[in-house]
């Protein structure tokens, strides 16, 4: 076999190995996206995958913010260590950045940029103080359609990047972008769901030492769990000794929901608050008896106003009518 054939076989083997690494990297990125990691943690895991495949020393992943500046989502720790920057202060330095230099050209042009002589590149704006020598730079844009929305940046202190490295990162950039976009959408939906839950189960302070939690609509296990968290947190933060749970707006009580309410009452007592259950209509009372729910140790009232009177009385207060003179 000639030396030329040996080189050709070696190149083919290297190419297959790189392709396998890229496929494994894509699978790993999507697998991480399915876990409970937040966007920043997911971006760090993606960056680690990219550094490993390209044998890079450090890098960063970021996106263009609504005002057209750059926010870094993840940066590898070796980058901070090399720059001599306290990682606890790093977040202040890598958000809302002016888009400039070599990495800025990637965003402005929407094209990948590979250079093994970054200091000599026409777009170079130099390195920050204490930054280690940079012998190789690779920047790849992340896009939505034709719009550039962010980028991946990788760097080496020694060695060189190749065209194959660029092609590998360009393939992985699609997966990184999709994974981060999916995580952002997931986080937004979760935040909206949280807001809806909080709006549908508000806890209000109606007097010094008294909070009220009106329950409205049907209840599932997630909403009742959220309700318990909210009322217990409110009792603690307001230092309330009386909590009213009003179920006037609850059409049906099942065993699980009723038990959640009983558990909430018990947990509230452990925090030093007495709970008054209001809105106990005849049909609700019958349901509770039928379900075998014991409310013998719980103060109940048919109406919210009656419950408020009891709560005020517990604080040594009372409601009096003021007759006009």
> What is the CATH classification number for the domain harbouring 138?
3.30.450.40
Residue 258, domain CATH: 3.30.750.24
User: Is residue 18 domain-shared with residue 148, that is, in the same domain?
Assistant: yes
> Within this chain, do residues 291 and 164 fall inside the same structural domain, yes or no?
no
Boundary of a domain, candidates 145, 171, 194: 194
Predicted local confidence at residue 2, as pLDDT: 53
Residues 91, 106: one domain?
Answer: yes
Pick the range with the lowest mean pLDDT from 157-161, 270-274, 291-295.
291-295
User: Rounded to an integer, what distance in angstroms lies between the CA atom of residue 124 and that of residue 78?
Assistant: 22
Query: What value does the mean pLDDT of the chain take?
Result: 82
Q: Model confidence over 79-113: pLDDT tens digits?
A: 556 566 555 555 555 788 899 999 999 999 999 99
Is 325 part of any domain? no
* Residues whose CB is less than 8 angstroms from the CB of residue 41 and which lie 6 or more positions away in sequence, other chains included: none
**Residue 323 within a domain:** no
Write down the pLDDT at residue 325: 46
> Residue 260's domain spans which residues?
201-314
Alpha-carbon torsion (100, 101, 103, 105), positive or negative: positive
Domain match, 227 and 190 both: no
pLDDT, position 7: 44
115 shares a domain with 77: yes
Q: Give me the long-range contacts of 93-101 (CB less than 8 A, separation at least 24).
A: 94/60, 94/62, 95/65, 95/71, 96/65, 96/67, 96/69, 96/70, 96/71, 97/69, 97/70, 97/71, 97/72, 98/69, 98/70, 99/64, 99/68, 99/69, 99/70, 100/125, 101/125, 101/126
Last residue of a domain, one of 145, 167, 194: 194
Answer whether residue 156 shows pLDDT above 80: yes
Q: Residue range 212-225: average pLDDT?
A: 77
Number of domains observed in the structure of the chain: 2
215 confidence band (pLDDT: 50, 70, 90): confident
Q: Exposed, middle or buried, 167 (CB in 10 Å: 0-12/13-18/19+)? A: middle
Of 175, 194, 213, the residue at which a domain comes to its end is 194
Q: Please indicate, yes or no, if residue 324 is contained in any of the structural domains.
A: no
Based on the domain organization, do 135 and 176 belong to the same domain? Answer: yes
Residue range 238-260, pLDDT digits in tens: 999 999 999 888 887 777 778 88
Residue 192 has pLDDT above 90, yes or no: no
Residue 6, pLDDT score: 47
Provide the pLDDT for residue 295.
80
pTM flag (> 0.85): no
pLDDT at residue 13 is higher than 60: no
181 & 243 share domain: no
pLDDT of residue 39: 84
DSSP alpha helices (H): ranges in the chain? 3-33, 39-54, 77-83, 90-93, 101-109, 163-200, 221-238, 255-270, 282-291, 304-314
What pLDDT, on the 0 to 100 scale, is given for residue 69? 93
The band of 299, judged by pLDDT with boundaries at 50, 70 and 90, is very high
In a shared domain, residues 212 and 187:
no
């Amino acid at each position: 076999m000639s030396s030329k054939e040996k080189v050709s076989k070696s190149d083919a083997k290297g190419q297959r190995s790189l392709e396998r690494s890229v496929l494994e990297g894509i699978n790993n990125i999507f697998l991480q996206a399915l876990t409970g990691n937040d966007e920043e943690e997911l971006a760090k895991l993606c960056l680690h995958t990219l550094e490993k495949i390209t044998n890079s020393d450090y890098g960063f992943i970021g996106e263009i913010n609504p005002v057209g500046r750059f926010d870094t989502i993840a940066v590898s720790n070796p980058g901070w260590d090399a720059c001599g920057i306290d990682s606890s202060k790093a977040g202040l330095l890598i958000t809302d950045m002016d888009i400039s230099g070599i990495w800025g050209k990637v965003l402005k042009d929407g094209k990948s940029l590979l250079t093994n002589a970054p200091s000599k590149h026409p777009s170079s704006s130099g390195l920050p103080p204490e930054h280690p020598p940079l012998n190789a730079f690779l920047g790849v844009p992340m896009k939505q359609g034709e719009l550039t929305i962010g980028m991946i940046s990788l760097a080496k202190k020694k060695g060189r990047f190749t065209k194959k490295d660029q092609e590998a990162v360009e393939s992985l950039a699609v997966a990184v972008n999709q994974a981060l976009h999916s995580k952002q959408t997931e986080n937004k939906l979760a935040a909206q769901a949280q807001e809806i839950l909080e709006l549908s189960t508000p806890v209000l302070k109606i007097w010094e030492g008294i909070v009220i939690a009106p329950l409205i609509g049907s209840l599932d296990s997630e909403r009742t769990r959220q309700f318990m968290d909210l009322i217990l947190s409110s009792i603690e933060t307001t230092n309330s000794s009386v909590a009213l749970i009003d179920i006037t707006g609850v059409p049906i009580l099942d065993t699980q929901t009723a038990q959640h309410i009983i558990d909430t009452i018990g947990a509230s007592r452990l925090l030093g608050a007495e709970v008054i259950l209001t809105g106990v209509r005849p049909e609700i009372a019958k349901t509770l008896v039928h379900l075998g729910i014991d409310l013998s140790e719980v103060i109940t009232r048919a109406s919210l106003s009656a419950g408020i009177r009891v709560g005020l009385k517990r604080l040594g207060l009372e409601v009096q009518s003021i007759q006009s003179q």
